[in-house]
Structure 1
Amino acid sequence: MSTVIEPRRARSARRPLPMLQSGDRLKQPEFHRRYLEMPAGQKFELVEGRVFMPSPVSGPHGIFDNLLGALLVFYRSQTPGTQDMGNGTIILDQVNEEQPDQCLWILPAFGGQTRLKNRKYVMGAPEWVGEIAYSSVAIDLYEKQTAYERNGVHEYLVYCVPDRTFHVFDFKAKSQITPDARGILRSRAMPGLWIDTAAFRSNKAARALKTLQAGLDSQEHAEFVARLASAKKRRKTSGGRSIDRR
């Protein structure tokens, strides 16, 4: 008796995901899946459930973004237990996956509130977030501000390039932080992070770094570093972990 062997059916090709379009309404998991399929170099953000495609980065935006990033790198280098990041993905909740211009957080081992998913993406709210707003003022000072506050960001700085103004929100105290008599913004979430507003507006990096160094030499910064060290010691004793592999 002969045996007829049916040919194995070819596995159907995976249907391509729809392309992301500005204005789409999506949940974060679906947004993330589609984002991974987009051509390299395209940037999208999911803010309060809506997809945004930022405008091309202007020269002034890039200049001030670099300056702010340089200040954060220097701050982090003198503040064990903190980490900075520029233009990286943060997953806040089911309707928010942003890529802020700059952010700074306390590492989980030192008592911070973020964690890493699959050793790649920051999940949870960084303690400090900064945005340089050129064409994105309407988003940065409305939808993003709402999302950051609701999800536990402690402090949010927006520098509006067109009118050269700073907006700094202390969400924990539900108040704004204004420059002192010398024009220096003193962070509450990250003690010692002092931003010389005049130097920043004029793109005078050396002066801005000098002011930041004064903040790093301050008593408030020394006490902050000591608190972070104590938090790490307590967490190590309790065996805390910070990696989420889901």
Structure 2
Amino acid sequence: MGTSKSLDKGGGTTTAGNASAVTAAALSQAAVLENGDHLTREEFERRYRAMPALKKAELVEGVVYMASPLRYRRHARPHSQIMTWLGYYAASLPAVEVADNASLRLDANNEVQPDALMRLDERAGGRSRLTEDDYLAGPPELIVEIASSSAAYDRHEKLHVYRRNGVAEYLLWLVEDHKLEWYGLKDGRYVALKPDPTGTLKSRAFPGLWLDSAALLQLKMRDVLDTLESGLNSTDAAAFAERLKHNVKKRSDHEN
């Protein structure tokens, strides 16, 4: 049997196989993610999975946001400082977990990829959960985002999404503004955490998670970790650790 041919728009011929390839390519092109697309979360995930080379995309209030290449001083280095601080804390307490750029399903119109998050294990009373397909769903106790300035969508759209979905605390590092903003959820609203007389910010969701904000802004990580160590040695942190152990044991006994 011969291969069927047809005229292309330029007056030449194209085989049926080539036509199928062109159609498939067109469909594939139509299924990619683009900044500003309005999508359902299901369609967003489908397109994201079809683009394995893409490292970060978010759906915020039904709109697609795709990250630009990351700058070293404005993002990559501050990001590493945050992960060091959170990782040290999580390594010191039971049932506390840290994640870096994990996809997080919050509601039908929002699937974000925070720069960092810290959560309690479900057995310890955490509100986020691990899904069967290995994603996180629901609000973690703490989200951290690193943004260039207060004009970034992390400071506006995402802040409202996190508040509405019940993320207990939100820490925002505005690099170009040389500023940290740490919010705690109270009566459905985000209220800025205030430093103590020594300038230390203290988490309410994670007792003992203390931050020397001036040292962090100056990238003095030894001072940041010294302050954190003081927090971990506090009576509040010790009581929190015991409470977490109790909750995990109680859950395990119930399941058995």
Contact in 2 for aligned 1:91/1:123 (Cα 8 Å): yes
TM-score by length of 2: 0.84
Partner of 2:102: 88
Query: Residue 171 of structure 1 aligns to a residue in which SS?
Result: strand
Partner of 2:254: 238
Task: Return closer, same or farther for 1:106/1:137 CA change in 2, 3 Å cut-off.
Answer: farther
> Where does 1:44-123 land on structure 2 (aligned, <5 Å)?
44-60=57-73, 61-123=75-137
- 2:238 maps to 1:225: no
Partner of 1:18: 31
Aligned residues: 229
CA-CA distance at 1:88 after TM superposition: 1.3
Greater than 6 Å deviation, 4+ residue runs: none
TM-score by length of 1: 0.87
Partner of 1:148: 162
- 2:188 maps to 1:162: no
State how far apart, in whole Å, the 2-side matches of 1:239 and 1:69 are.
33
Query: Residue 136 of structure 2 aligns to a residue in which SS?
Result: strand
State which drifts further: 231-240 or 87-96: 231-240
State which drifts further: 87-96 or 230-239: 230-239
Task: Return closer, same or farther for 1:137/1:238 CA change in 2, 3 Å cut-off.
Answer: farther
Partner of 1:35: 48
Contact in 2 for aligned 1:54/1:136 (Cα 8 Å): no
State how far apart, in whole Å, the 2-side matches of 1:145 and 1:178 are.
18
CA-CA distance at 1:234 after TM superposition: 2.3
Query: Residue 166 of structure 1 aligns to a residue in which SS?
Result: strand
State how far apart, in whole Å, the 1-side matches of 2:96 and 2:167 are.
15
Unpaired stretches in structure 1, ≥5 consecutive residues: 1-11, 241-246
State how far apart, in whole Å, the 1-side matches of 2:53 and 2:155 are.
28
Larger Rg: 2
Query: Residue 139 of structure 2 aligns to a residue in which SS?
Result: coil
Amino acid at match of 1:206: R
Task: Return closer, same or farther for 1:159/1:69 CA change in 2, 3 Å cut-off.
Answer: same
Query: Residue 70 of structure 1 aligns to a residue in which SS?
Result: helix
**Could you report, residue by residue, the CA deviation over 1:2-21 in whole angstroms, capped at 9, with x for unpaired residues?**
xxxxxxxxxx9985361111
Query: Residue 162 of structure 1 aligns to a residue in which SS?
Result: coil
CA-CA distance at 1:115 after TM superposition: 1.2
Task: Return closer, same or farther for 1:207/1:88 CA change in 2, 3 Å cut-off.
Answer: same
**Could you report, residue by residue, the CA deviation over 1:94-143 in whole angstroms, capped at 9, with x for unpaired residues?**
11111101100000111111111225211111110001111684311111
State which drifts further: 67-76 or 128-137: 128-137
Percentage of identical aligned residues: 40
Contact in 1 for aligned 2:148/2:177 (Cα 8 Å): no
Task: Return closer, same or farther for 1:222/1:68 CA change in 2, 3 Å cut-off.
Answer: same
Query: Residue 154 of structure 2 aligns to a residue in which SS?
Result: helix
State how far apart, in whole Å, the 1-side matches of 2:197 and 2:71 are.
32
Partner of 2:219: 203
Contact in 2 for aligned 1:111/1:235 (Cα 8 Å): no
Unpaired stretches in structure 2, ≥5 consecutive residues: 1-19
RMSD: 1.9
